Amino acid sequence: MIIETHAHYDDEKFDADRAGLLSALRESKIEKLINVGASFKGCEDSVKLAHEYDFIYAAVGVHPSDIEDLEAAPEERMNWLLDTAKNDPKVVAVGEIGLDYYWDREEEVQKKQREWFKKQLEIAREADLPVIIHSRDAAQDTMEIMKEAKENGIRGVLHCYSYSPDQAREYVKMGYYIGVGGVVTFKNGKKLQQTVAETPLEHILLETDSPYLSPEPNRGKRNDSRNLHYIAEKIAKIKGITKEEVCERTKDNARVLFTKL
Ligand code: NI
């Protein structure tokens, strides 16, 4: 069995066949999955899905590219996030939160991203939940903020990890987990393959980021959690162990980090 630690089944790309697909996942050995909020509406929809399906859990947090959602009604929405993170039994993490300088190049916007990132880390601390971190083209600022977060007792995963093996080692030393998805199967995924080779299996989590980033041989198509089997196979190959071992051990890791699973 496999635990999927990052998917977005609230996405409109699943509107036509969501129910059928979600039941197909169970038959494909997906034991549990975390549906991760990105927009504010995505957070609400993630919680709804988690209440509808036993095997689905939710993460609530606003993505750096969606911080306008928080600025639209800061107090009300931050209160909702804190209240939901604290009190909803199916909410297992705060995320995805972080920094994305790829899409937002202006210093003014990046500064706002950092502010909302830190405020949401504070929600995780108050709710005593782990965090799911999104970080793109913001390696140094993310590292600095996560160092400070660790001092405040924050635990979490660097989702869809895309930085160097060296930085991964630093994150692992601080107790953070490395989220590995479809990119590990890509021909141009050498850096992530190197990271997987050097990162202890105890610190790796499986994820797809569905509907994005489908692994080979389905690259370019809509992604779903059944593709985790290809990701696990690739990690097994890199580490010279069996796919079953990868699935079982990463499942244990997910349970250690997301204690409410
Ligand atoms: Ni995501």
Distance (Å) from CA 38 to ligand 1 centroid: 7
Q: How far apart are CA 121 and CA 98, in angstroms?
A: 9
Distance (Å) from CA 103 to ligand 1 centroid: 15
pLDDT tens digits, the chain, 261 residues: what are they? Answer: 999 999 999 999 999 999 999 999 999 999 999 999 999 999 999 999 999 999 999 999 999 999 999 999 999 999 999 999 999 999 999 999 999 999 888 999 999 999 999 999 999 999 999 999 999 999 999 999 999 999 999 999 999 999 999 999 999 999 999 999 999 999 999 999 999 999 999 999 999 999 999 999 999 999 999 999 999 999 999 999 999 999 999 999 999 999 999
Write down the pLDDT at residue 23.
94
- Burial (Cβ within 10 Å: 0-12, 13-18, ≥19) of residue 228: buried
pTM (predicted TM-score)? 0.98
- Burial (Cβ within 10 Å: 0-12, 13-18, ≥19) of residue 186: middle
Distance (Å) from CA 6 to ligand 1 centroid: 6
Write down the pLDDT at residue 93.
98
Distance (Å) from CA 13 to ligand 1 centroid: 14
Write down the pLDDT at residue 213.
97
Count of domains observed in the chain: 1
Write down the pLDDT at residue 103.
87
Distance (Å) from CA 141 to ligand 1 centroid: 19
Structural domain range at position 228: 2-257
Write down the pLDDT at residue 12.
98
Q: How far apart are CA 161 and CA 181, in angstroms?
A: 8
Short-list 151, 181, 178, CA closest to 167: 178
CATH classification of the domain holding 251 = 3.20.20.140
